[in-house]
Amino acid sequence: MPFFITDPAALQQILDAAKSQEWSTAYHYSLEAMSDPAHPGRPADGVDPGVYLWVGGAEKINANEGSFSYYTREFNRIQYELQKGAPAPDWEQRIQAASDSIAENFVKTLLGVDLANHPDAPLPDNPPAEAAVPDIHTVGLIDAGAAASKIFTDSSSTGRSDYAPWVGTTLFTKLNDPSFFKDWVLTQGTSKYKQEPGTYELIATAQAVLEMKNLGYVLDVVLNNELGTYFDTVQLGTAPSASNSRATQTFFETTYGTDVGHKIHIGTTIFNDVVGVVENNGYRVGSTHDDSGAHALVLASSHDRVVNTGVGNDEIIADRGWAAIGATVQPIIDGGDGNDTLNYSHLQSPVSLHFDGTGAFGWRVLAHKGLDLPDGPRDAVYNIEHFILTDGNDQIERDDNLSTPDLVIDLGSGSNTLHLRHAKPSAAGPAAGTTHYRFSTHRADGQSVAALQVQEIHLAANVDHAVLKQGAILSVNDLQLAGGSSSAKNGDIIGGSGETYALESAGGIQSLTIAWPQRLGQAPYLIHIDDWQQGDFGIRLL
């Protein structure tokens, strides 16, 4: 049952202020009409406390006064700049236009204008006999609609207005409506209200929340003498905030795997005003377009715990110091949609890539840095299509039936090892894309250029060779080895690159050795494949 404002004088004051576009004043008269006459500053019986708090906050926000105005304006600015990758030159005009639009649509709704069917309808000529105060969800839709149509108009990857970055997804949870955050942020898919796929909107929200905490929002509340309103909001939002915090944690762990996700407390970071500031859980997103070259994301800090580069062809570069990060809490690196590159070439120690099927994407990589130890530093990597490894002796382990997109793995110039295992068929099915393993004869692993360099490829005895015939390619110095329709006889030199193929068989097991042509002063460069079968890696010997 809604609360009705029935005082004709109050309704006339609200309408007059709105017609004069004095929106803060219109909020003020609305708040007075909803207040308990015996207890000024408190809602009358029947008034939704969340709506009452929102109207009181909106009055100051529209006038750009107080800590709540600062919070909403700054949060929306941070979100816009995260998506766009640059500030809006007309930011002040955008944020004020959104605030004015919210006020106008709130007053119209209060005075009975049917905006759902007539979105451009004007204010009424005269106030109604009674005005039903809209519920908190309706107020949220009014607030969000203005943010999407006035602020987040050009920041998404689709070019369409986006609702999910709006500050209200978290603030309306504290006003006892958790649905906006659950419906618009906690989902992998996209919709009218969520333009960015995957967890991008969630990680961006966590980054914006944490930046606001570091800017001292709670201290600002104290200095502006707004503790009363703050505590009212905290009290009203305790249960829905706790619910959304748990839902966020569950969604996060389901997406990335409990083994790494449970160590990062993203739910409490977002829905607790204090927790997260002293924790070493940092969140970072790229823009909604390509982040590469001068705009590449460089991983250099232990605070980069969760990274989502968003839509676009993005480049992530691990700095030298990144080798030591990830022993206790594993960083999560998510390339999002697009063709994304993770570059480990600056690390001074080797990397071991362990592929598995954990998480919501069907595959991931645990990248162990340095010694391949269970408790050593490692990254949990998702949605990366191009890996650039180190000049050390890197390793790769993966199952034959793991479903991945097309991948390119540059194995650097050390003596590397590839282990292909057999796993029981999973719901993911066979590999959907081709993995291109690229080798290089350039020697940069600290050994003599004359030292024998052997790339080892070990195939499990029961590996699915059909996957290797269709979904794996080898190349050296960007020259593909006997791929496509090329064939070679055992011992022959084929192709303009001059490599030789030697096939040996012992006990029914074949091993193929590919020798790359020697350079002056350089020992032979060999690729050795044990348990090779005809057609594996696209290589066929006549």
In this predicted model, what pLDDT tens digit does every residue of 20-76 receive, in sequence order? 999 999 999 999 999 999 998 899 999 999 999 999 999 999 999 988 899 999 999
Contact (CB, 8 A) for 277 and 213:
yes
The 10 Å Cβ neighbour count of residue 462 is 11
Closest CA to 62 of 40, 31, 16, 85: 31
- d(C-alpha 77, C-alpha 196), whole Å: 18
Token pair listed for 187: 């989902």
40 Cβ neighbours under 8 A, 6+ residues apart: none
480 Cβ neighbours under 8 A, 6+ residues apart: 473, 474, 538
Token pair listed for 321: 């110091």
Instruction: Give the helix/strand (H/E) hosting 223.
Output: helix 217-223
Token pair listed for 182: 């659950």
What's the confidence (pLDDT) of residue 10?
A: 98
What's the confidence (pLDDT) of residue 161?
A: 97
Contact (CB, 8 A) for 181 and 142:
no
Contact (CB, 8 A) for 166 and 156:
no
Outline where 276-334 has alpha helix (H): none
Tokens 């391949």 belong to 372
**Sign of the CA dihedral 179, 61, 120, 128?**
positive
Listed in order, strand segments (DSSP E) in 293-358 are 297-299, 306-308, 315-318, 332-334, 341-343, 351-356
- d(C-alpha 430, C-alpha 452), whole Å: 36
pLDDT in tens, 352-402: 999 999 999 999 999 999 877 777 899 999 999 999 999 999 999 998 888
Dihedrals phi, psi of 267, to nearest 5 degrees: -60, -50
Instruction: Give the helix/strand (H/E) hosting 258.
Output: helix 258-261
Q: First vs last Cα of the chain: how many Å apart? A: 83
466 Cβ neighbours under 8 A, 6+ residues apart: 430
The low-confidence residues of the chain, meaning pLDDT below 50, are: 278, 280, 427, 446, 484-496
Dihedrals phi, psi of 117, to nearest 5 degrees: -100, -20
What's the confidence (pLDDT) of residue 467?
A: 87
Contact (CB, 8 A) for 475 and 438:
yes
Dihedrals phi, psi of 418, to nearest 5 degrees: -120, 120
DSSP, res 428: T
CB neighbour class for 374 (10 Å; exposed up to 12, middle 13-18, buried from 19): exposed
- d(C-alpha 270, C-alpha 406), whole Å: 35
What's the confidence (pLDDT) of residue 53?
A: 94
39-43 and 35-36 strand pairing: antiparallel
- d(C-alpha 434, C-alpha 538), whole Å: 11
- d(C-alpha 499, C-alpha 486), whole Å: 13
